[in-house]
Structure 1
Amino acid sequence: MAAVPQTASIFRVDKFVVPEAAREKFVERLRTIQALLDGFEGCLQNLVLEQISGPGTFNFVTIVEWASQEAMDNARKIATAEYARTNFNPQEFMQQLGITADMGNYGGIR
């Protein structure tokens, strides 16, 4: 996989399959995470999208645009510390609610 130059925006795209019974708890957690990320330096855009039509597998998508790899790495460190402080384990949370995810970092095609 080709490396994206450090000056290019980095997009974190996470796609989720969320059972209807887990929707409320999941959305509540997304709002908490979105508020946390919005405060980080280098967070250019932070979207939470819910599928409203179509045959897709994933019913939620989050897209966060970071100014650089460095900004994303710094945010990850701070978020990890916050999760430890609040005793939140994202993998355990998703497993308990029956949520599956496909997560990755993306760069623009030039």
Structure 2
Amino acid sequence: MPNASASDPAAPVFRVDKFVVPAEALPEVIAQIKRVHTILEKVPGCLRRRVLSQTGGAGEFNVINYIEWASADAIAAAVQLVQQQFEHEGFDPAAFMKQLGVRADMGFYSEV
């Protein structure tokens, strides 16, 4: 769980997930990210959601998942909801990524 800014515990928190996705797996990975976004759009405090695909440049990450949360507290309900949905479906995100050859760098960020 992310830590809120020490100066403002109600400060927005940003989830940024960067992925290296093989070309043949792009449609499936993007569809999965968008599916999670449909779950998150119902959670209070989820302000913005974006899935970005690299169109140029030399970076290694070709897919970015960006979510802006109103505060660290808003994330707790989302984590619980997504975990429950995955358990209900029998979906294992780590196995999904491994099977498709996806590498990820995921984390929470705050404004500086």
Using the size of structure 1 for normalisation, the TM-score is 0.93
Partner of 1:54: 57
Deviation of 1:96 after TM superposition, in Å, equals 0.3
- Measured in 2, the distance between the counterparts of 1:100 and 1:25 equals 14
Which ranges of structure 2 fall in alignment gaps of 5 or more residues?
none
Partner of 2:80: 77
How many residue pairs end up in the alignment? 108
Describe the superposition over 1:15-58 as per-residue Cα deviations: whole angstroms up to 9, x where unpaired: 00000111111121112111111111110011110000000110
Runs of 4+ in 1 over 6 A off after TM superposition: none
Report 1:25-64 matches (<5 A): 25-64=28-67
Which ranges of structure 1 fall in alignment gaps of 5 or more residues?
none
- Measured in 2, the distance between the counterparts of 1:43 and 1:89 equals 23
Identity %: 38
Partner of 1:89: 92
- Measured in 2, the distance between the counterparts of 1:43 and 1:15 equals 19
- Measured in 2, the distance between the counterparts of 1:31 and 1:108 equals 25
- Measured in 2, the distance between the counterparts of 1:28 and 1:66 equals 21
